[in-house]
Structure 1
Amino acid sequence: MIVLETYSENDFVRWNEFVKKSKNGIFLFDRHYMDYHKSRFVDASLLFSYKNKIIAVLPANAAGTKIYCHQGLTFGSLLLSEKITSTQVLTVFSMLLQHYATLGFETLVYKKIPSLFEKHPAGEDLYALFRFHAKLYRRDISSVIALENRLLFSETKRQNVKKCELSGCALHQEDDFAAFWDLLHTSLLKFDVQPVHRLEEIAYLRSQFPEKIKLFTVRLKNELLAGTVIYDFGGAAHTQYMAASPAGKKIGALDFLIHQLITGPFTDKKYFSFGISTESEGRVLNEGLLQQKEMLGGRAIVLDHYEIDLNPPRAHD
């Protein structure tokens, strides 16, 4: 029999141990990462055990009448053990829907982890979403370079790389995020937005995950021209943040930066991920931003968001 438990701080260690062993877990679901902003969310996470061993966990928070998987994270999804069966996942889904419905919640919002971030195939939840009549309400387009058979940069991008090389630009890995955060903040001001993380937050997360969160910059005679914060998801490297100064944009420093990363530190990865180019819950495509990623060899994957009506919960028979 599968047993459902609500997460408490007493589960901190065994939650993290399971995430590391799960077939689709990434470090974003480690409690050292999740809990840096726990004061902003009402945790509603669940654990599922079979024969006294965890077979699945659900990172989740409650907001109003909805359960989200998870508002504070890029992705949600059930994290699954390597041994869990499709039938067990259907049972887990039935249990979690019944649990949240009994508590009075009306909707479950589920953000599917892209398959390229999974260590092993983990599509059992997609089948469960279909069986429980989930509605696809949002789809974002994201760009990824397949490094094992990567496409060439466009002619313009190749020229930018050459220009930076001839100018003496150099790639650096840095531990101090302050200068880049100033550049990032300035770059985002024109869009009237701010980085999701404050400087002290990203510094804390970097201290917890020094091998997973790294800052790379391009400098010319010590002048900061561009930079990116990379999240290492195992088989894929993801650009969490990118920014360039006016001088960096003029010389094409970001193109040089990406070229250096995919031919250097991350050449052994399967994928290099740029993130989404959509707005307004996927209904508006930022064609200019997407074109820049495509000129670097990026091609599309989609990030899907689903809703399930919890009133009443559905049986899967």
Structure 2
Amino acid sequence: MIEIKKYDSADKQDWNEFIRTAKNGTFLFDRDYMNYHSDRFNDNSLIFYKKNKIIAVLPCNRKGDEVHTHGGLTFGGLIMHYDIKATEVLNIFSQTIDYLKNEGASALIYKVIPAIFHKYPAQEDLYALFRHNAVLFRRDISSAVDLKSPIRFSETKRQSVTKCRNKGFIVAPNDDFSEYWQLLTEVLSKFGTPPVHSLEEIKHLKSQFPEKIKLYECRDQGTLMAGIIIYDYGRSIHTQYMANSNAGRNAGALDYINYILITEVYRDREYYNFGISTESMGQFLNEGLIQQKEMMGGRGIVYDFYKITF
């Protein structure tokens, strides 16, 4: 028999310990990460027990009569123990739907965790979604490099790498995000959008997860040319933010950082993910953006969104 409990703050330690040991858990689901924007979301997360032990958790929030997994995160979904079986996941979905119905919800919006972020195969939820007639309503495409057998950078990108190396550009980590955040904010303002995180928020998250969130910069004689914020998920590395100065763009500084990270810093990992290149609920593909990622060896993975209507 599987029991459902709504998460509350007293469960934080047990929740975080489970996330660290789950087969598809990442630090995004740690409460010290999720709580940075807790004031913006009505948390509705669930914990599933079997014989008084947690076998799964569902990070989610309530928005009107819909429950989302999770509105404040890039992806979400059922976080599962290594021992969980397909029949138990089916049971969890059935019980969750009944529970949410009783809570007055009318739909579950489910963000699938892409397989490259799993520690071990964990797609039992996809089968459960199918069994409950979930409808795929959004699909974003991201680009990832297989670090075990990476596709070579394009000729243009290799020329940028050579140019930066010959100019003596330095790629190195920096724990002070202030200067880079100013550059990032200026770059994004041209597209009418700010960074998802404020400087204060990203500094707080960095303090909570110093080994998981890192900034790598490219500098020319001390001048900031470009930077990348890395989220380290273990087997997979994700580029959360990337930005060039005008001089950095002309020199190909971002290409150089990516090259160093792919071929040196993270070469022992499995995937290097550039993030999505889609807008408008996946219906618009930014062809210029995805081309840049493909020129560095990135190839398609998808972020799927399903809806179960009760």
Distance 1:192 1:82 in 2: 43
Q: Distance in 2 between matches of 1:42 and 1:84?
A: 28
2:131 match:
131
- State the partner residue of 2:196: 196
Structure-2 residue corresponding to 1:300: 300
Q: Does 1:122 align with 2:119?
A: no
The corresponding residue for 1:164 is: 164
Alignment correspondent of 2:237: 237
**1:49 maps to 2:49:** yes
Structure 2 Cα separation of the partners of residues 265 and 128 of structure 1: 38
Query: Equivalent residue for 2:281?
Result: 281
Question: CA separation in 1, counterparts of 2:110 and 2:49?
Answer: 21
Give how far 1:161 is off.
0.3
Measure, in 1, the Cα distance between the counterparts of 2:33 and 2:114: 19
Residues 216-236 of structure 1 deviation map (CA, whole Å, 9 limit, x = unaligned): 000000000000000000101
- Tell me the equivalent position of 2:4: 4
- Separation in 1 of the partners of 2:3 and 2:236? 33
Kindly state the Cα deviation for residue 264 of structure 1 after the two structures are TM-superposed: 1.6
Alpha-carbon distance in structure 1 between the residues aligned to 2:209 and 2:264: 21
The reply to whether residue 98 of structure 1 matches residue 98 of structure 2 is yes
How big is the shift at 1:207? 0.3
1:170-227 superposed Cα distances (whole Å, 9 cap, x missing partner): 1010000000000000000110000000000000000000010000000000000000
Structure 1, residues 59-93: CA drift from partner, whole Å, max 9, x if none?
00001111000000011100000001100000000
Runs of 4+, deviation exceeding 2 Å: none
The amino acid across from 2:90 in the alignment is L
Q: CA deviation at 1:241?
A: 0.3
1:1-317 matches, cutoff 5 A: 1-310=1-310
Deviation at 1:149, TM superposition (A): 0.4
Does the residue aligned with 1:149 lie in a helix, a strand or coil?
Answer: coil
The one-letter code of the counterpart of 1:274 is F
Instruction: Name stretches of at least 5 consecutive residues in structure 1 with no aligned partner.
Output: 311-317
Distance 2:140 2:40 in 1: 25
Q: Secondary structure of the residue that 1:194 maps to in structure 2?
A: coil
Aligned residues: 310
Superposition RMSD in Å:
0.5
User: What is the TM-score with the length of structure 2 in the denominator?
Assistant: 0.99
User: How far apart, CA to CA, are the structure 2 residues paired with 1:179 and 1:64?
Assistant: 39
Please give the alpha-carbon distance, in whole angstroms, between the structure 2 residues aligned to 1:147 and 1:3.
40
Provide the C-alpha distance between the structure 1 equivalents of 2:38 and 2:237, rounded to a whole number of angstroms: 26
Match of residue 314 from structure 1: none
Q: Which amino acid aligns with 1:150?
A: P
The DSSP-based 3-state class of the residue aligned with 2:196 is coil
3-state DSSP of counterpart to 1:153: coil
Specify the code of the residue in structure 1 equivalent to 2:195: P
Segments of structure 2 that go 5 or more residues without pairing to the other structure are none
For 1:171, give the aligned amino acid. V
Q: Percent same amino acid among aligned pairs?
A: 54
Q: How far apart are the structure 1 equivalents of 2:204 and 2:228? A: 17
SS at match of 2:156: helix
* One-letter code aligned to 2:257: L
Looking at structure 1, the residues matched to 120 and 276 of structure 2 have their Cα atoms a distance apart, in angstroms, of 23
Partner secondary structure for residue 48 of structure 1: strand
Question: Alignment partner of 2:281: what SS?
Answer: coil
1:75 and 1:300 map into 2 onto residues whose CA distance is: 16
The alignment partner of 2:12 has SS state of helix
